[in-house]
Homo-oligomer: A and B are copies of this chain.
Amino acid sequence: MRASIKDVAKRAGVSISTVSRVMNKSAPVDKEKTAAVKEAIQHYNYQPNQFGRGLVKQNSQMVGVYIAHTFDSLFDSTYYLELLKGIQTVLDHYNYSMVIINEKDNLKTGNRFVDYVNQKKIDGLIITSSIIPGSEAENSYNDLVKGGYPTVYIGKRFHKEGNNVYAQYEDYMYQMIKEFYMVGHRRVLLFIYEGHKEYIQAVHKKVQKNMPNLKLFLHIQSSNDNPREEFKKQIHNHVYKLGCTAIGCSDMDYIHLIIGNCIELGIRIPEDISIISVEHKKEEGANCFPPINAFYVPAQEMGKIAAKVLITDIEEGNKANVFKELETKYSQRESVTIKKNG
């Protein structure tokens, strides 16, 4: 059994409260006693038991990160990875730990984070945009917010309460299409994550309204055993049969499959096909061959902000809701060319 505060107190010849005082610097303590306590702490390699401390302070120094997603898709997306990096960085700085709360089944009815909250396992909660609108989780989350529990929601929010960090997915996807449109493309293929299905509809509508003579082809990519062949089929079909001259994709994950398949199919970039992607890591597109035009979504920054907001909320109480909208930045590189209308 590890040493407890009692052992330390005994060895230092003081009471447990004195030990507690020097541990937490919560009250002035005689110099010599302080030294004795410190010696005893050293000697036992003493660390206060978090259950005891937590029981009285009711905090765990842990923060939950909720992800309603298969872990596979999560850990394959640069977006989440960068988000997590950002979160972890500031959590670490403020001496909090990150607990991942993963919901993989029953995305509609699951709300596993509620248990963590009720069990006091975590002091605050960061929700990742993968939560399904209208799901049980969304409801539970709203309850939490209403109850004043420290939370931050990353991604598109459908309610105005609560802290929110967001990079307008719909905006930059729309911008992407507009980029193509402006240089003459009229038939565009979009590779989209299954999880973004909901959001892309709004984009599609707006496109139909504002660029009536542009035809948008959507390919919703679900997990697949052979993405190589799947992409090849899609690209071949859309480029050769349906006359697409531009491909957009919402994550760098797909870009190598797209580039590689284009090369294999004898489709030149950008001469035959223009490509724009989204990058969640700086200059990611620049490291492709050829360098790919991309919208930079500062995912890591988003994670950092979310964590900072959450910690402020935890430690100082939520004064006002924070709504932080991040800007994306478009980098022109070598993957888009003007399409002469023919």
- Residues of A with Cβ closer than 8 Å to B? 2, 45-52, 54-55, 58, 60, 62, 71-72, 75-76, 81-82, 84-85, 88-89, 92, 97-102, 104, 114-116, 118-121, 227-228, 256-257, 259-261, 263-264, 286-289
Contact = CB atoms under 8 A, between A and B. Distances in A.
A227 B47 CA distance: 43
Main secondary structure of the interface of A (DSSP, over half): helix
A269 to B, nearest CB: 12
A67 B264 CA distance: 40
A50 B84 contact: no
Nearest to A62: B99
Nearest to A262: B289
Contacts of A114: 45
B97 A48 contact: no
Contacts of A257: 287
A47 B261 CA distance: 52
Contact of A118 (B46, B84, B88): B46
Contacts of A99: 62, 97-99
A47 B118 contact: yes
A262 B254 CA distance: 21
A289 B289 CA distance: 12
Nearest to A286: B228
A85 B92 contact: no
Given A88-B102, A228-B286, 6 more contacts: A45-B114, A46-B118, A76-B81, A99-B99, A256-B289, A260-B287
A52 to B, nearest CB: 6
A77 to B, nearest CB: 10
Contacts of A118: 2, 45-47
Contacts of A104: 92
B75 A100 contact: no
B84 A92 contact: no
Given A88-B102, A102-B88, A228-B287, A52 B55 contact: yes
B81 A119 contact: no
B98 A100 contact: yes
A116 B75 CA distance: 25
30 contacts: A2-B120, A45-B114, A47-B118, A47-B119, A48-B119, A49-B55, A50-B51, A50-B54, A50-B121, A51-B51, A51-B52, A71-B88, A71-B89, A72-B85, A75-B81, A81-B81, A88-B102, A97-B100, A97-B101, A97-B116, A98-B99, A98-B100, A100-B100, A227-B287, A228-B287, A256-B287, A256-B289, A260-B288, A260-B289, A264-B289
